[in-house]
Amino acid sequence: MNAEIITIGDEILIGQIVDTNSAYIGKEFNKIGVSVYQITSIQDDKNQILQALADAESRVDIVIITGGLGPTKDDITKHTLCEYFDDHLVQNDMVLDHVKELFKKYISTSPLLQVNIDQALVPSKATVLHNANGTAPGMWMTKNNTVFVSLPGVPFEMKYLIQDEVIPKIQKEFNRPFILHRTVNTYGIGESALADRISDWENALPSSVKLAYLPSLGKVRLRLSSKGPVKEIVEETIAVEARKLYDLIADVIYGEEDDETIEAVIAKLLTSKNRTLSTAESFTGGTIAEQITAMPGASAYFKGSVVSYATEVKINVLKVSKDLIKAHTVVSAQVAEAMASNVRELLKTDFSISTTGNAGPSKGDSNKEVGTVYIAIATPKGVHSEKFMMGSQRERVVQKSVNKALEMLKKEISKY
């Protein structure tokens, strides 16, 4: 059961936008046993679209096409589908009613134009998929046993259509294998040294299990994948190999990756323990607060943050003593710990986390080497900090530090 994704739009090819739709579809399809064989991004060009459709048809069972369904002249997907399917457009009354309703509700200032009414035109052979969040309907068509699904490119509309229309219809109409990925996070060991340690095990893996190395900032993730018709067998196969892997490298494994982000895990922990959190951020500039508040319901446990980018804000708002800063500089364990303790008191929370460091490019107030970072955690039992050297690339220093801070926080909250 294979799928391909074709994303249409010059804006992707000139790099004006990053295609995030494909990763979303890939992830959701894997969950229901559909493998994505290829992703192809092409221009708003009729002949290129026709060629891509034909190529994909020869390879896979389902082709998902996104983009080119808007009301303007550069949107040509619908006409091109008609040509590919030797079909013509007909008005769909349900879509028209929906378009009118959306206009009445949200766009009352603009008149309903002919191009808006034309959004209700669909190929006569298409099954319409309801787009609750926009005027362009999804379309499901079949040719030579390959299903073609055309969806709008707006992520917000596409996601709804995938979840509420496309996936249920695939589940109803296709037998699918079970696909399982399990990703183990390792820290503190390089990719090649890791490969060396597990090479005997890797060489003896059954052919049904695929192993991938995913190195990224400070960690290497190992992904085990397998698929088959029987869920229990696939699960058992992966479980057996994962156990062997744990036996080999338990010392460098720090949990597994799943759909839950670390913010989600922290949210669950704090909510279930009925504890609260605050942050005091220097060089991370509010990124930790931003990631935590991206979770719906964060107001139940997150009270706020003092982003003390300037030293004087550390002194005046966070009440870090001038003498302490003078003795140790702002980039120090002492200042990190004072920031964490003080924000915990100021915002009256159970836990708090602080960051101070130098992300570069220049040395800043502390004269400490670029990449020097201190992260402190204050809890009901006290405060502690750790020092890290995070390299010399500004963005990476910040993101690595945020990851590390959340990691430390999760570990600490788990103890309570």
Contact region with its own copies (CB under 8 A), list: 85-93, 212-220, 231-239, 372-380: 212-220
Residue count at the site for its own copies (CB under 8 A)? 106
Interface positions, 215-234, toward its own copies (CB under 8 A) = 215, 223, 225
Interface positions, 115-144, toward its own copies (CB under 8 A) = 115-116
Task: Name which position in 50, 167, 248, 346 contacts its own copies (CB under 8 A).
Answer: 346
Interface positions, 16-35, toward its own copies (CB under 8 A) = 16-20, 22-30, 35
Q: What are the b/e assignments for 52-66, b being 16+ CB within 10 Å? A: bbeebbeebbbbbbb
Between CA 127 and CA 142 the distance in angstroms is 10
* Complex with its own copies: residue 87 or 257, whichever CB lies closer: 257
* Complex with its own copies: residue 43 or 127, whichever CB lies closer: 43
Least Cβ distance, residue 86 to its own copies (angstroms): 25
* Complex with its own copies: residue 284 or 372, whichever CB lies closer: 284
- Contacting residues for 353 by C-beta, under 8 A, at least 6 apart: 277, 279, 280, 288, 340, 375, 376, 377, 378, 405, 408, 409
* Complex with its own copies: residue 87 or 164, whichever CB lies closer: 164
Q: Is 206 in the site for its own copies (CB under 8 A)?
A: no
* Complex with its own copies: residue 82 or 359, whichever CB lies closer: 359
Secondary structure (DSSP) of 189-221: S-HHHHHHHTHHHHHT--TT-EEEEEEETTEEE
Secondary structure (DSSP) of 236-258: HHHHHHHHHHHHHHGGGEEEEE-
Least Cβ distance, residue 11 to its own copies (angstroms): 6
Q: How far is CA 405 from the centre of its chain?
A: 19
Return the residue matching tokens 């323990």: 273
Least Cβ distance, residue 70 to its own copies (angstroms): 6
Between CA 138 and CA 67 the distance in angstroms is 11
Interface positions, 250-309, toward its own copies (CB under 8 A) = 279, 281, 283-290, 292-294, 296-299, 302-309
* Complex with its own copies: residue 27 or 411, whichever CB lies closer: 27
Task: Name which position in 173, 196, 258, 260 contacts its own copies (CB under 8 A).
Answer: 196
Contact region with its own copies (CB under 8 A), list: 69-77, 122-130, 166-174, 246-254: 69-77
Site string for its own copies, 170-189 (x = CB under 8 A): -----------x-x-----x
Q: Quick check: 348 and 398 in contact, CB under 8 A? A: no
Contact region with its own copies (CB under 8 A), list: 88-96, 235-243, 261-269, 358-366: 358-366
88-92 contact pairs (CB < 8 A, 24+): 88/123, 88/124, 89/121, 89/122, 89/123, 89/124, 90/121, 90/122, 90/123, 90/124, 91/120, 91/121, 92/120, 92/121, 92/122, 92/128, 92/137
